[in-house]
Structure 1
Amino acid sequence: MVHDRPARIERRLSAILAADVAGYSRLMHQNEEATHTKLTALLAHGTPAISEHGGRIVKSTGDGFLAEFPSAVEAVRAAIQFQNRVKQLTNAEAEDRRLAFRIGINVGDVIVEPHDVFGDGVNIAARLENIAEPGGICISSSAYDHVKGRVSVEFIDLGEQILRNIHSPVRVYAVVRARPRSTAQGESAKPGPLSPPRLSIVVLPFINLSGDREQDYFVDGVTESLTTDLSRISGSCVTARNVSVSDKRGAVDVRQVGRELNVRYVLEGSVQRGGNRLRMNVQLIDAMSGQHLWAERFEKPIADLFDMQDEIVSRLANTLGAQLIVAEARRAERTLHPDAMDLYFQGRACVMKGLSLECLTQARNFFERALECDPGSVEAMIGLANVDTTVGGSFTTDDGPARLSAAEAMVNKALSIRPNYTSAHLARGWVQILTNRAAQGIREFEHALVLNPNEANAHAALGCAKFYMGRATETEGHILEALRLSPRDFQAYHWTCFVGVAKLLLGSDVDAVSWLRRSTEANRNYHLAHLALAAALGLTGALDEAQTAARTGLALNPGFTIRRFLAAQQSNNPIYLAGLKRSCEGLRLAGVPEG
């Protein structure tokens, strides 16, 4: 019997270019006919660059196209020519009506058909296009290996990125500017056409002021480890260390560094050893203005240098993450036409001010507007989910379960897009522990720590989850670890409140008062800390102080009642329930209404 051979599938190694219009849905909503006409004209003028560089357009994608090239070098050259042509044609238009393309390029083994190409090589190019800036070009490391030194542009290393439905992280590079031409006068390089990416930062090599060259390995280790940890911040663009190496003792013009590397921020620092102590000074600088945004001094007794390096790096990374959010939010406030990320940063800044209803309402507004601009913004999804989780778990509304359900649905949507997004796993864990699934929440927090071992919030969340499981004795240890990693974290008041609640559940009322006072002093606008303090004071017999604390908490959030507190049913663990009963007795003594 003769068997037919299966049809041969054609495969080849190709450079794949994916392009689309940023904010296309918004533009079409504003004016369908005008947007369609502009897009048709731009493609007609821009796409000849594809064939000029040996490529072929495989298919149109409605608001863009997919192209295949036999050469990565030619694919990048075509992308640059295309973007330059589009910019020339749209430069006179208002920014909010201007069409700007995002381009992603990857080199991979693909399945080829006459009118389409398939495979991970294509999917990666499409995902790279999604993370490119409007008017920008992002390429994978596989493409970068082919083009470095062969094209007249420079790249910034965006680090490893988690791409939707791609199994392994992909290292990504972004085109930042045209390579400057040398002149007889030796003029300085002019900035390229692309603005610095958001959260783009270069860590300059820290300076060893000790005069002991044997300490250089420690100083270099701090620089390198900090570069790695900062790259874990969602959306950050951190330049590779080899780009930033220069004369460590020469004066640095941070604005020139910003122009040359196309970054918004510069981090510089120095390390000095004296006797048995180590002092480190660190400064975050706006690379465009030269303004100092933040400075910190660390001074510690010298112990094991590697342990010290880890602690310093984790503290810096956690603190800088918050400082960069604040800086980006301030920039966004000055933007006439904010996009999804501008709005997201402003929402995050609102949350960082506190968990009052006013701050949360403002944050919700920013996150919802961000999703209107970009329905696929994972950052905005998680921001909105966290607002719903916070309100749903505040015991101040009867629609708490609905809020938590909405939050979980939003988190699951975000994780379907970006499965290894640390903040999404944290958000899902919080929903789970507030809906009587603390064990599942713990697994989410532990997974977050696998993705980022220095994620202080994950350690704090574990501490909270433990008292819901009747293991309140373990809470303090987790919070102390979170505070070690990020001692000045904007959420530290939240974490100290967790310890106070754990002590209250354990019957250690005096210790509870101490921790809860620490929380209220750090942030006087967190109603739950005042109410927990009222319960603890009531149980110690300090009724006047308890009633004062209760009035303060209720003034911040009048919707809190004991009925809502009990109705939340956040755990059915008998040890937790016994502690909960004691807490309610304290609330009653403090005059909190039953509701």
Structure 2
Amino acid sequence: MRYLFEEFAFDTDRRELYRGAEILSVAPQVFDLLDYLIRNRERVVSKDELVKAIWNGRAVSEVAVTTRLNAARSTIGDSGSEQRLIKTLPRKGFRFVGRVLEAQTSESAASANDRIEPSEPAPALPDNAPIAMNSPERLSIVVLPFINLGGGLEQDYFVDGITESLTTDLSRIAGSFVIARNTAFTFKAKTIDVRKLGTELNVRYVLEGSVQRGDNRLRINVQLIDVETGNHLWAERFDKTITDLFDMQDEIVSRLANTLNAQFIEAEARRAERSQHPDAMDLYFQGRVHVNKGITPEYMAQACGFFDRALTLDPGNIEAMAGLAQANIAIGASFFTDDRTGYLEAAEHGLIKVLNMAPQHARAHMLLGVVQNLTNRAAQGIAECERALALDRNLADAHGMIGLAKVYIGRSEETEAHINEALRLSPRDTFSFRWLYFRALAKLQLGADGEGITWLRRSIETNRSYPLAHFHLAAALALTGQLDQARAAAQAGLALEPTFTVRRFRLNASSDNQVFLARRRRLCEGMGMAGVPEQ
């Protein structure tokens, strides 16, 4: 039997472990340990059971078991702190939690040349495709090779590059399982029954697309399909002037990855709503959807409720921990409470816990940077956001947060470039309204009230459920003599957050930079002129 997980193939007949085409050296006991954990991945395996299976019941020390376990983790790119594939459950045992597909080995599979041709009525998978499992995992997807419509060899490389890069980048999405490129590329230039493909690969979603070149323009069409129903969940067209193909590839892949991240969260949340017995990840996705709706007290309270329930079911769920931290940050940053410090401290504590468990968690690094930005540590915050981008180049929100940090340290003239980069990577991002708001703050800090008003209005048009944008618009309008419009903006903000006061805003500055504070005092005056309550 051959087991496929991430970029590895584990062949029990030949006793070989492959990473891509490379055969890895594995000690016999380490191989046996991996074999036993993978075969029994549906349950927790106790230490005594491992000793009986691997050491034939001989007396072995705790150190010996730990050493072999660490060696197994190291061989497959896991670690004791990350536990991405092999999880230790204190006082219970161990479990292989990576997503596994089963495939026949070459001894039992049909010849790779004996394939059903695409012209047949019911196209099938290659004979050596993985065998289906019972229930597809959440966010499980195969990226089919994009179709090259009428292009030459150069464009064929470009098209394959998009498919391969997108496969890699989608695997960075929290909780995702993406079929490896080597499997996906066996379907190149074949007519595929998408629902049958989903069943046999045991995935929930299929992404397919095409690339067409004409004159100096490139058109890319992409569709996301739910294999259970065959319905198209999302479709998009990119139409761009041809410049540098490799730069275009990076930009297109980033935009797709960011858009699909939001689409996946919505799709999984809809599934979770239909579940009579939601588990921790069901609740996590519902919490993320509420965070994405808009930053209001109501949405954040609902999000916290879902994340808290998820953590009750699974106290070690790092995604729910990060989600709860994000909601707590939003509550503190948006001045929904007098206990701003308490919410930000709770968020920081939760994020440090996440990063102790998963040091490479890009979004947790970014969120920790946000907390630092908000608590007069902007230099550290910028460094954390840069660390997040090194781990995940598609994390557009990290660019936005660096732009906000520049406002706090009195360098607002640098903010626009960071916001432009965020919008380039994810122009339809669920958080783009905040980036437009950050750009407006920078303009107000620079004394460009008219431009600030323009960007605040664009932020509100993008998402009306963000009270701070309304309050800042009210201040800017009042300061420019447009009192009637200013009062209307203030009332719109108070309808979303009735407890907001100028006093709370004034007493909770995110920086002690004197340039920043001077302009901020002016905004407090404008809010008062617009009718925002003092206290």
TM-score, normalised on structure 1? 0.74
Quickly say closer, same or farther: Cα 1:281–1:229, change in 2 above 3 A: same
Residues 424-435 of structure 1: pairs in structure 2 closer than 5 A: 424-435=364-375
Quickly say closer, same or farther: Cα 1:113–1:511, change in 2 above 3 A: farther
Deviations 1:32-64 (A, max 9, x none): xxxxxxxxxxxxxxxxxxxxxxxxxxxxxxxxx
Deviation of residue 250 (structure 1)? 2.9
C-alpha separation between the residues in 2 aligned to 1:363 and 1:167? 25
Number of the residue aligned with 1:115: 61
Deviates more, 1:446-455 or 1:484-493: 446-455
C-alpha separation between the residues in 1 aligned to 2:36 and 2:338? 58
Residues 28-67 of structure 1: pairs in structure 2 closer than 5 A: none
Query: 2:278 aligns to what SS in structure 1?
Result: coil
Query: 2:233 aligns to what SS in structure 1?
Result: strand
What count of residue pairs does the alignment treat as equivalent?
477
Does 1:314 pair with 2:314? no
Deviation of residue 227 (structure 1)? 1.0
Number of the residue aligned with 1:489: 429
Maintained 8 Å contact 1:210/1:274: no
Letter in 2 for 1:507: G
Residues 76-475 of structure 1: pairs in structure 2 closer than 5 A: 78-79=36-37, 82=40, 100-101=43-44, 114-116=60-62, 117-119=64-66, 121-123=68-70, 142=76, 164=81, 174-177=99-102, 179=104, 192-475=132-415
Letter in 2 for 1:408: E
Maintained 8 Å contact 1:505/1:583: no
Maintained 8 Å contact 2:506/2:521: no
Deviations 1:384-430 (A, max 9, x none): 11111111121231111111111111111111111111111111111
C-alpha separation between the residues in 2 aligned to 1:277 and 1:161? 43
Deviation of residue 79 (structure 1)? 4.9
Query: 2:100 aligns to what SS in structure 1?
Result: strand
Q: Alignment partner for residue 503 of structure 2, among 554, 559, 563?
A: 563
Maintained 8 Å contact 1:371/1:377: yes
Deviates more, 1:280-289 or 1:509-518: 280-289
Maintained 8 Å contact 2:310/2:320: yes
Deviation of residue 583 (structure 1)? 1.0
Letter in 1 for 2:60: P
Deviation of residue 249 (structure 1)? 3.3
Deviation of residue 454 (structure 1)? 2.1
C-alpha separation between the residues in 2 aligned to 1:198 and 1:162? 23
C-alpha separation between the residues in 2 aligned to 1:400 and 1:120? 45
Query: 1:467 aligns to what SS in structure 2?
Result: helix
Deviation of residue 121 (structure 1)? 4.1
Quickly say closer, same or farther: Cα 1:221–1:69, change in 2 above 3 A: closer
C-alpha separation between the residues in 2 aligned to 1:169 and 1:506? 52
C-alpha separation between the residues in 2 aligned to 1:563 and 1:102? 57
Deviation of residue 285 (structure 1)? 0.8
Maintained 8 Å contact 2:29/2:68: no
Quickly say closer, same or farther: Cα 1:240–1:269, change in 2 above 3 A: same
Deviation of residue 202 (structure 1)? 1.0
Number of the residue aligned with 1:135: none
Query: 2:99 aligns to what SS in structure 1?
Result: strand
Deviation of residue 74 (structure 1)? 5.2
Q: Alignment partner for residue 550 of structure 1, among 490, 494, 503?
A: 490
Letter in 1 for 2:308: E
Higher strand share: 1
Letter in 1 for 2:421: E
Identity rate, percent: 55
Deviation of residue 458 (structure 1)? 0.4
Query: 1:295 aligns to what SS in structure 2?
Result: strand
C-alpha separation between the residues in 2 aligned to 1:507 and 1:577? 13
Deviation of residue 70 (structure 1)? 3.9
Quickly say closer, same or farther: Cα 1:75–1:120, change in 2 above 3 A: closer
Letter in 1 for 2:196: Q
C-alpha separation between the residues in 2 aligned to 1:375 and 1:308? 42
TM-score, normalised on structure 2? 0.82
Number of the residue aligned with 2:18: none
Q: Structure 1: which 5+ runs fail to align?
A: 1-67, 88-99, 129-139, 143-159
Maintained 8 Å contact 1:178/1:192: no
Deviations 1:253-296 (A, max 9, x none): 11122122221111110000011110000011112221111110
C-alpha separation between the residues in 2 aligned to 1:581 and 1:175? 57
Deviations 1:179-211 (A, max 9, x none): 49889xx99799644422221111110000124
Maintained 8 Å contact 2:332/2:339: yes
Deviations 1:557-576 (A, max 9, x none): 01111110011131110110
Q: Structure 2: which 5+ runs fail to align?
A: 1-25, 88-95, 111-115, 117-121
Letter in 1 for 2:531: G
C-alpha separation between the residues in 1 aligned to 2:86 and 2:445? 43
Letter in 1 for 2:528: R
Quickly say closer, same or farther: Cα 1:555–1:82, change in 2 above 3 A: closer
